Structure 1
Amino acid sequence: MELRGKQKRFLRSQAHHLSPLFQIGKGGLNEAMITQIEEALEKRELIKINLLQNTDEIATDVAATLEKEINCDVVQIIGRVLVLFKASSKAANQKLSIDVRKL
């Protein structure tokens, strides 16, 4: 699902108060972390990821990898913080995606 401008703006406002759920350190982005991120997105739909100072990863590269691997949308990249959105496949977890579709 490609997000439009209004949808991204709404998601950015919702993510403002969130704290980063994952931190990518010197180990980098690996398969286990990608799986955990995908499971967290299934439950929460909107998460933040922080890249620590000791990592060699670049935020745009991590965003591109995650978009390709788990088919999520990158809402925002500010410095070393990524905001990711993916609509949940379970109806019980679809809180934000219902509001996003209305916009």
Structure 2
Amino acid sequence: MQTLTGKQVRFLRGLGHHLQPVVMIGREELSERLLASVEVALEDHELIKVKLQEGCSTDRREIASQLAEKTRSQVAQVLGRTILLYRPATDPQIKLP
């Protein structure tokens, strides 16, 4: 998968601004069940928000990179305790600039 350009990242951030988090990461952090739900969400939506809850003790940027690596997605943004992930679907709905 090619890396996102600055223009594409800005475009995805704009699209992701109004999204609600669809996956919450808590004390269990990156469990198999959590990774499966992220996979399903990415397949359905392409662009998702993941929220880190108080119980998550690992660094947010570390969690974001691990999550992206394990789900073959890309981190579009890490803002506060929210991560924006992007992975094009087999039939992409989002057309990147």
**One fold, TM greater than 0.5?**
yes
Greater gyration radius: 1
Query: Which structure 2 segments of 5+ residues have no match?
Result: none
Give 1:54 deviation, angstroms: 2.0
Of all paired residues, the percent bearing the same amino acid is 33
Q: Report deviation, 1:9.
A: 0.4
CA RMSD between the two structures:
1.0
**Contact preservation (8 Å) 1:51, 1:57:** no
- State the one-letter code of the partner of 1:17: H
Q: Distance in 1 between matches of 2:68 and 2:19?
A: 20
Structure 2 counterparts to residues 12-91 of structure 1, below 5 A: 12-89=13-90, 91=91
Aligned to 1:95: 93
Q: CA deviation at 1:95?
A: 1.0
- TM-score normalised according to structure 2 size: 0.92
Structure 1 residue runs without a partner (length 5+): none
Report the TM-score when normalising by structure 1: 0.87
Question: How many residues were matched structurally?
Answer: 96
